[in-house]
Structure 1
Amino acid sequence: MDAVIAAEPGQGVVAAAAELSAEQESALLLRLYALAFAGVLAPEPSAASAAAQAEVAAAAVAVLARIDAHPRYTPRRPQLLPQLTRALNDPAAGAQAIAAILGQDPALAGNLLRIANSAAYRRHAEPIENLERAVALLGTEGLRQLVLAALLQPVIADDGSAFGRCAALLWEHTLLSAKATARHAEDAEREDPAAAQLLALLHGLGAVAVVQVVRDAYAKQPGLLPDAGLLAELLRDWTARVAEAISHDWALSERMRQGIDEQHRHVEPHALSSLGRSLRIGRRQAALALLDAAPG
């Protein structure tokens, strides 16, 4: 699937995201997931197929319920995260200091450059090809926005399958939602934008992990076509729980843990914490922006 080129959410999208009901949000996200399954045949509506789909769902849930026992799905806290977090929160730390930390890890630097040139973050016609140019063009604040996204970039198998496309799409959604969540937290909630961004990125890691678990469950049922609706249900029910499990040893603040917990408990909007509300609205804004940019 060609990459969906999504601009930052406009004012219309921002307003629409705030007004969605829970049912409308579920329908919106189902439409988003369906983009990855465009052109994939739907499973046959037979009793045998339904039974096989139920087996896949049960196998996936068994893994998701004990996701911390399956470390290949749960990335550990990056070693550079504390050092980078301190630098990002230090007003005296300039772009050069942040770039020096990034330079300790070539893979991290590569991730940052890829994200800097992605549709979600690219600001210039010319591609950014090295850290020095990134520092010159983006400045300290621009680097702050990119560093966490680069640090948490998951490994996504680009195998041409619907699941590979879905994981890539969900991470694109995550990058957009991280920006939107941080902006809403700072502008509307007077919250720490870096904490809000990290929350959205962790939520996205949870979504990618769910896709990978479901992919592996289908791999044990050769010939069974994937059901986009089944995947959507598992993403709805398990993404925040998996994100919570991933973050257990990440030393998150109580406010951040609450913000994730509220997502899978489907807390009513008026009862959400400020970070939880920012995450929900940011994810909606990103989904609307991606769907607006999708062809057809």
Structure 2
Amino acid sequence: MINRLHEQLIKAANELPPMPQAVVRLTEIIADPDYAIKDVVRVVELDPALAGKLLRMANSVMYGSGRVGTISEAIVRVGAGTVRTLALAASVKPKKNLDLSAFGYTPDSYWKHCVAVLCFAEEMAAQRLADFGDDFTTAALLHDFGQLVLAKHMSPEQAEALSSLDPTLPAVDRESIILGVNHAEVTAVVTQAWNLPETIVKAVQYHHSPEQHDTPLCHGLNLANQLAWQLEERNFELAREFENRLASRSALNVSEDQMTHLLERGRHRMEVAMEVYS
């Protein structure tokens, strides 16, 4: 039964609708280390809604003082990776009627968590804690997307069984016990099917086990996720992954004082981000 469900989930992940054309094109552009801002501008200009959100974000308190008036200036200010994340957001936001209670979320709280992880990723990149590259914010927004796929395809009995397991077990372990696959693995399949960069695929796959993929992006995503849990007071999650927190802090040379500062800065970013990513 588990093997059959595993196959169904992988099939479902591979059959999701394709990414918006803007995301596809931006991914192609960003893949070239020598890409030109004008190429990103052309993509944004074809999507007025994206252009509006980009300008609003670039002129928000998240990015300091001084207004920008052109798309080109806005891209330089926020980064091409963040532009792609903005273009992606509407496609990966859960439907209001999706039951995520087995994962401890409502659709709204799930989305708020994803945006929180994104905000902490932005703050960590802004503080130059490591060279995370252009893929950090996209990985942050997508890191738990597999939960949406699992929620759509598991039976009510499986959802109940998942909810009844020992809450001190890591989420990925509980999912693997009941479903034979976990949300991180499913998210990796989805991002691969969408032809997103391998750096994103690996980061989302190992964000709960960064020691298995020892890169700044993977450790950064783990810490951004834990900071979001801290903000949400999801203490069970924090307790379960305390060792990962220490390992990722050590890998990135982040002190506890820096974590506290990141928490406060990320909290401020959230105020604007929830508007932009609504």
- TM-score norm. by structure 1 comes to 0.53
CA contact (8 A) 1:78 1:152 kept: yes
CA contact (8 A) 1:149 1:175 kept: no
Kindly provide the amino acid, as one letter, of the partner of residue 150 in structure 1.
Answer: L
Counterpart check, 1:150 vs 2:86: yes
What percentage of residue pairs aligned between the two structures are identical? 16
Kindly provide the amino acid, as one letter, of the partner of residue 112 in structure 2.
Answer: E
Residues 78 and 288 from structure 1, CA distance in 2 versus in 1: closer, same or farther, beyond 3 angstroms? same
Q: 1:284 — aligned with what?
A: 226
Quote the Cα distance in structure 1 between the aligned partners of 2:164 and 2:41: 42
Counterpart check, 1:180 vs 2:105: no
Counterpart check, 1:247 vs 2:183: no
Equivalent runs, 1:48-63 vs 2, <5 Å: 62-63=4-5
- Of structures 1 and 2, the one scoring higher in RCO (CA 8 A, sep 6+) is 1
Gapped runs of 5+ residues in structure 2? 62-67, 234-262, 268-278
Quote the Cα distance in structure 2 between the aligned partners of 1:254 and 1:207: 20
Quote the Cα distance in structure 2 between the aligned partners of 1:167 and 1:64: 23
Residues 148 and 254 from structure 1, CA distance in 2 versus in 1: closer, same or farther, beyond 3 angstroms? closer
Equivalent runs, 1:1-296 vs 2, <5 Å: 62-70=4-12, 74-85=16-27, 92-93=36-37, 98=40, 101-105=43-47, 109=50, 113=53, 123=60, 140-142=76-78, 144=80, 146-153=82-89, 154-159=92-97, 163=101, 166-184=106-124, 187-192=128-133, 194-214=134-154, 217-218=155-156, 228=163, 232=171, 233-234=174-175, 238-263=182-207, 266-268=209-211, 272-291=214-233
CA contact (8 A) 1:181 1:282 kept: yes
CA contact (8 A) 1:241 1:261 kept: yes
Quote the Cα distance in structure 1 between the aligned partners of 2:210 and 2:199: 15
Quote the Cα distance in structure 1 between the aligned partners of 2:135 and 2:190: 16
CA contact (8 A) 1:73 1:212 kept: no
Quote the Cα distance in structure 2 between the aligned partners of 1:167 and 1:122: 28
Shift, 1:212, TM fit: 2.8
Shift, 1:103, TM fit: 5.0
Shift, 1:203, TM fit: 1.7
Shift, 1:240, TM fit: 1.1
Kindly provide the amino acid, as one letter, of the partner of residue 76 in structure 1.
Answer: P
Residues 140 and 254 from structure 1, CA distance in 2 versus in 1: closer, same or farther, beyond 3 angstroms? closer
Kindly provide the amino acid, as one letter, of the partner of residue 219 in structure 2.
Answer: R
Provide the secondary structure at the position in 2 that maps to 1:268.
Answer: helix
Residues 77 and 277 from structure 1, CA distance in 2 versus in 1: closer, same or farther, beyond 3 angstroms? same
Q: Deviations over 1:68-100 (max 9, x none)?
A: 312587343332224223566777526xx7565
Quote the Cα distance in structure 2 between the aligned partners of 1:62 and 1:191: 37
Residues 171 and 133 from structure 1, CA distance in 2 versus in 1: closer, same or farther, beyond 3 angstroms? farther
Quote the Cα distance in structure 2 between the aligned partners of 1:109 and 1:253: 22
Q: Count residues in correspondence.
A: 214
Shift, 1:155, TM fit: 4.6
Shift, 1:185, TM fit: 5.3
Shift, 1:208, TM fit: 2.6
- TM-score norm. by structure 2 comes to 0.55
Quote the Cα distance in structure 1 between the aligned partners of 2:40 and 2:190: 25
CA contact (8 A) 1:68 1:74 kept: no
CA contact (8 A) 2:13 2:149 kept: no
Kindly provide the amino acid, as one letter, of the partner of residue 263 in structure 1.
Answer: H
Shift, 1:278, TM fit: 1.0
